[in-house]
Amino acid sequence: MPERDNGEVATTGSVNPVSAPGPSRRHGAAALSRDLLRAPVTGRARRDLLFCLAESALAVVVLAGLGALPGLPLAVTLLVSGGQPVPPPSHAHPAGVVPVFALTVIGALLLLVLLAPRAGRGLAAVHGRLAARLLGVRLAGLPPVPAARGPFGWLAATARDGPGWRAVACLVLKLPVAVAEGCAVFLAIFGPVNMTYPFWWRLFRNHPPGVHLQPAVALTPFGSLPVATFAGSFAAFAAGAAMLLAAPWLARAAAAADCWLMRAMLGPGRLTQRVADLEQTRAQAVQDSAALLRRLERDLHDGAQVRLATLAMNLGLAREKLGPGADPAVRELVDAAHRGAKDALAELRGLARGIHPPVLDNGLPDALATLAAGSPLPVRLTTALPRRPAPAIETIAYFCAAELLANATKHSRANQVTIDVAASGEVLELRVGDDGCGGADPSGGGLSGLAQRVSVVDGQVRTVSPPGGPTQITVTLPMQA
């Protein structure tokens, strides 16, 4: 066994990717050929090929499932008829076997109907995870099967499971794609194998002249290539290199086709997707605007309010220091400046509070308590919030309560207002009631504006306000924007 050949393997084996042309000094054809040569060793090629491998394996599972359809009845019939193949009609006891066969066919079909959508969903989920993990392609999940009660409800829900059946159809339609994916895997494995022929040829085919051996066989997609001579082994090498170079492109194309098919068949319809996108961007917009207001208040608090408070404090100190002998005109000016600074501070506080009451950062109950205590009407406040809603929802609920409380104060002639906030599941409910004169108009400017503002998060306003009262207005909001 000549040692030299091993060395040859080591040096020649690194022909394909590493000796590719260097950095982008060369353009056009050179860069293209470099990319072509490098393609098989990129991470992307590895992931595409892994995906193809996994998909081909899953296709075998689907094929096995499809095969079980006629196979299972056949197997049962064989079992029943005592190991004999299905007898021809002319044979002795057809009467016993045919009904069994028919029954098992019906049974298998029923089983298929009952299990296929669920199995299809399961496999579709596996495909989805593979695509996400290996290709970074996110496929929207199927909508869940509607909840059902009892075994019959479950069966009915399964049989009527449209998306589940779509998943089954998709799995079947994917089979031809899986053939291409299997081909890619074949190319990636047998390409390098074929490329080794020239290296071991001399090791095993060093028989004395005159001995005739069967030609070795190199597998290619276009059939087997017989290799009988050392020169022929180079043909195998060339075929292998071509296969290796083609593998990543076939894998990429097959994976792309596979993803396209899955997206088309399993993904939501265009309209559904659009609605989902819009919902998401709308929630984002609501959150952003709440966060913006919060930041604005914070900036006021840390900036203008601090400066004004310090200014008022310094003017207060200056006023104290003027003493009894000071010029009355100066005193008057300082007094006016001092008063002005304090007024500005109070005004700014009101403004900042209207933008975002900072106590909301501590939760809705604390914020509503101050709101209630600031009301000229007595307010009875109850809050039951086991967990906090999203900040944007807290803000909306707070300003709804503030507006409803202001309405009650202005129009209801009530003696008592109640504010109840409760969360149940994913719904936040704010109820503001009063014992006043009623007659609040849901289509009036105030309430319809309120309804419009809560509709931004799919919230709703219900008004019960018969003439003569009492009034009860209920705002329902989702816990998350």
Q: Binding segment for other proteins among 251-259, 274-282, 355-363, 406-414 (CB under 8 A)?
A: 355-363
- Whichever of 163 and 433 has its CB closer to other proteins, that residue is 433
Instruction: Kindly tell me which of 34 and 331 has the beta carbon lying closer to other proteins.
Output: 331
Task: Give me the least distance between CB of 381 and other proteins, in Å please.
Answer: 9
Of the candidate residues 170, 341, 405, 475, the single one contacting other proteins (CB under 8 A):
341
Query: Contact at 8 Å (CB) between 460 and 432?
Result: no
The pattern of x and - marking residues 370 through 409 that bind other proteins according to CB under 8 A reads x-xxxxx-x-------------------------------
Q: How far is CA 457 from the centre of its chain?
A: 20
Which of residues 106, 109, 333, 346 is near other proteins by CB under 8 A?
Answer: 346
When binding is defined by CB under 8 A, the residue of 65, 357, 438, 459 that contacts other proteins is 357
Name residues contacting other proteins, limited to 278-337 (CB under 8 A). 298, 301-302, 305-307, 309-310, 312-317, 319-321, 324
Measured from the CB atom, the residue of 81 and 375 that comes closer to other proteins is 375
Alpha helices by DSSP H, 267-382: 270-302, 304-322, 328-355, 364-373
Residue 305 Cβ, how far from other proteins at the closest point, in Å?
Answer: 6
Lookup result for tokens 């009892």: 150
Residue 1, both tokens: 């066994």
Which residues, in sequence order, are CB contacts of 117 under 8 Å at separation 6+? Answer: 145, 158, 159, 161, 164, 165, 167, 168
319 and 335 in contact (C-beta within 8 Å)?
yes
Residue placing its CB nearer to other proteins in the complex, 179 or 292: 292
User: Which positions ≥6 away from 434 have C-beta within 8 Å?
Assistant: 377, 408, 412, 414, 416, 417, 418, 469, 470, 471
Please tell me whether residue 97 binds other proteins under the rule CB under 8 A. no
Q: How far is the CB of 422 from other proteins (least distance, A)?
A: 18
CA angle 8, 14, 20 (to 5 degrees): 135
* 353, two tokens: 């509070």
66, two tokens: 């499809």
- Cβ–Cβ under 8 Å, residues 389 and 423: yes
Token pair of 99, please? 């009904």
Residue nearer to other proteins on the CB measure, 5 or 435: 435
Type and span of the H or E element at 446:
helix 445-455
Nearer to other proteins, 263 or 298 (CB): 298
Number of residues counted as binding other proteins (CB under 8 A)? 41
* Region near other proteins per CB under 8 A, out of 165-173, 201-209, 359-367, 438-446: 359-367
Site for other proteins in 248-277 (CB under 8 A): none
Q: Which is nearer to other proteins, 175 or 384 (CB)?
A: 384
Query: Cα–Cα distance between 153 and 161 in angstroms, integer?
Result: 12
Sheet strand arrangement including 379-384? 379-384, 417-424, 427-434, 471-478, 460-464
Measured from the CB atom, is 142 or 315 closer to other proteins?
315
* Smallest distance from other proteins to CB 132, Å: 37
First vs last Cα of the chain: how many Å apart? 74
Q: Least CB distance from residue 436 to other proteins, whole Å?
A: 17
- Closest distance of CB 399 from other proteins, Å: 16
Cβ of residue 463: shortest distance to other proteins, in angstroms? 26
Give the per-residue SS3 of 369-422.
HHHHHCCCCCEEEEEECCCCCCHHHHHHHHHHHHHHHHHHHHHHCCCCEEEEEE
In the list 30, 166, 259, 366, the residue contacting other proteins (rule: CB under 8 A) is 366
Binding residues among 453-472 for other proteins as defined by CB under 8 A: none
Of 329 and 373, which CB lies nearer to other proteins in the complex structure?
373
Could you give the count of Cα atoms lying within 13 Å of 384 in the half-sphere of its Cβ? 8
d(CA 277, CA 313): 52
Binding residues (CB under 8 A) for other proteins: these are: 298, 301-302, 305-307, 309-310, 312-317, 319-321, 324, 338, 341-342, 345-346, 349, 352-353, 357-359, 361-362, 365-366, 369-370, 372-376, 378
